[in-house]
Amino acid sequence: MLEERVTDERWQAIIHNDSSYDNQFFYAVKTTKIFCRPSCKSKPPKRENVRVFQNANQALREEFRPCKRCKPTGERLPDREWVAQITQYIDSHYNEKLTLEHLADMCHGSPFHLQRTFKRLMDMTPVEYIQKKRIERARELLAHSNNQIADVAQLVGMPNTPYFITLFKKMTGQTPSEYRQLYVKKQTT
């Protein structure tokens, strides 16, 4: 097995961003599938989610991606790959509170670079992508469930119901109630 133990000494190196441990080991985070140098300035992961490797190639073989921030392989992660990683995270976590800072931390980059790169490659900002994903899911829930509008808003990560209704109408041209009524009418005719 290529993985090594997360000793107390290594854990201290990780949480204190100790550059003297760089190239002695690399750590990967199971939840993000990203690996870093001990000196990486990204938000410290939970210890139980950390795996340790002797070198970057071992982490790559285990299908971890290099961190965009600390570049453990010495190479930059291609922007398209990075944005794909971010959209995949959003697609799986759209119903949680997502901020630009949180996404940048999860994907090991800066909020400014994330915003600019995402917009350039996706023709929309990360926030617009999150809203689009939430409204798509809301449409499914409105069409295929009897959940109250407030419950649908909550399920898609928008606890402010009036804001949800306003955004839904802005993006679809209909209120959630109107959308549901038209969908039900189409199904019965």
Query: Looking at the annotation, which residues are catalytic?
Result: 36
* Exposure b/e, 146-155, CB count within 10 A at least 16 = b: eeebbebbbe
Q: Are 82 and 122 in contact (CB under 8 A)?
A: no
- CA torsion sign for 172, 173, 175, 179 is negative
Distance in angstroms (rounded) separating the CA atoms of residues 11 and 51: 11
DSSP 8-state code for residue 95: T
Q: Where are the beta strands (DSSP E) in 12-126?
A: 26-29, 34-36, 50-53, 65-66
Nearest one of 49, 61, 53, 57 to 27, comparing CA atoms: 53
Q: Are 2 and 23 in contact (CB under 8 A)?
A: no
Distinct helix (H) and strand (E) counts, the chain: 9, 4
Residue type, 13: A
